[in-house]
Amino acid sequence: MGNGVVLSVSQLNRYVKSIIEQDMNLQTVFVQGEISNFTNHYKTGHFYMTIKDEFSSIKAVMFKSANMRLKFMPENAMSVIIRGRVAVFERDGQYQLYIDDMQPDGTGALSLAFEQLKEKLAKEGLFDAQRKKPIPVYPERVGVVTSPTGAAVRDIINVISRRFPLAEIVLCPVAVQGDYAAPQIKAAIELFNECEAADVLIVGRGGGSVEELWAFNEEIVARAVAASEIPVISAVGHETDFTICDFVADLRAPTPSAAAELAVPDSFQQREMLCSLVRRIHGAVNDKLGGERALLELRKATLQRLSPQNYIDGLRIRCDRASMAMDSAVRSGFAFKSNELSSLCARLDALSPLKILARGYGVASKDGKIISDVSSVEKGDLINLRLSNGDIECEVKEIRG
């Protein structure tokens, strides 16, 4: 950048910004100091402040997306430990601290250690959702790693016994605070896994101060939870308490009682669900059977309608009816013809020559031919005269015209 090159202010600020933002040591820094000039920007929700010690100060900003996670409201003159990064606000040429997290400086080294370990394990992927194991729905054995004398173990036992009495509770008593707590908790988790003594583990204790809960922030406990083949439910403290164990565990419960509820199903609800399913199955089966019966009856009726026997019976009935109709027609025709014949016979009888002869008339014939005209005979011809009761041979004596 030397050799007499003339830069604009923007170019200079951009260059300085690039140098600072390429420095990996400034990407994550932990800073201890006192807050001053604190402003809660009501429109954006961002926090603006100055962090100072007795010799120096630095401008700082905490965006809304980060400060929403704070469990306290920052105030002027409050001593805090900050995790963030250093960058340049190019417009003003001002380097400042961009805050990702902030803790009151009441616990000092513990808070710093917490953040450092949390960041380390997060980078290793121990908090990733894809590595979380599902909690079994119907565990036969529930392992409990906690103090044998605290309220937590009593709450866990009471809840599991009430909700799912079929589950066996396997307790591995440990210290939950003090120097020996973390090694004992680690050993208990490993023992459960070696012996396959449980289907799900509840690891935790009741509420307390940061120092009292610190065993569950130890790296050896976190790694034991992460390595466990048995799904782990973390139940440390109360709802507002978070530990490293909570982040690593497969499931976090806000309290030991809640952990017990998450570990086992409610047998009463399960019975109700099963009864409901049975009722639904019975209803579905009855509906199915009713539908199949109706379909069967329909097909039965169809088969009966299409049956060859029915067709044959129909033809037989048609044949019987046709035979009866033919017989009736023949009888009727015979009677009609008989009557007609009788009528014709009567008419024929009425027109018969014999009837005429019976009334005194006769029929004259010559050589077997009826004489209908006097010109057909001559005097002296022999003719036959047929009467009703016989024939007379006659000779023509005279012809009159």
pLDDT along the chain (401 residues), means of 10: 72 83 86 91 89 91 88 78 89 89 70 78 93 94 93 93 93 93 96 95 89 90 96 83 90 92 88 86 89 87 76 81 85 84 79 68 80 80 81 83 66
Q: Is the Cβ–Cβ distance between 259 and 232 less than 8 Å?
A: no
Do 41 and 13 share a structural domain? yes
Q: Which residues pair with 145 in a beta bridge?
A: 172, 203
Q: What is the pLDDT of residue 155?
A: 93
Q: What is the pLDDT of residue 238?
A: 66
What predicted TM-score, i.e. pTM, was given to this entire model? 0.49
Do 222 and 141 share a structural domain? yes
Q: What is the pLDDT of residue 83?
A: 92
* DSSP code for 42: T
Could you say which of 214, 237, 265 is where a domain stops?
265
Domain count, the chain: 4
d(CA 169, CA 172): 10
State which residues form the domain around 160: 129-265
Could you say which of 106, 121, 146 is where a domain stops?
106
Q: What is the pLDDT of residue 308?
A: 78
Query: CA 117 → CA 130, 204, 220, 244, distances in Å?
Result: 20, 19, 11, 8
The string of pLDDT tens digits covering residues 13-58 is 888 888 888 888 888 999 999 999 999 987 888 999 999 988 999 9
In a domain, 115, yes or no: no
Strand order through the sheet with 382-387: 369-370, 363-366, 382-387, 390-395
CA angle 178, 184, 190 (to 5 degrees): 150
In a domain, 201, yes or no: yes
Q: What is the pLDDT of residue 2?
A: 55
Do 134 and 63 share a structural domain? no
Do 253 and 278 share a structural domain? no
Do 144 and 257 share a structural domain? yes
Do 295 and 364 share a structural domain? no
Residues in the chain: 401
d(CA 194, CA 187): 10
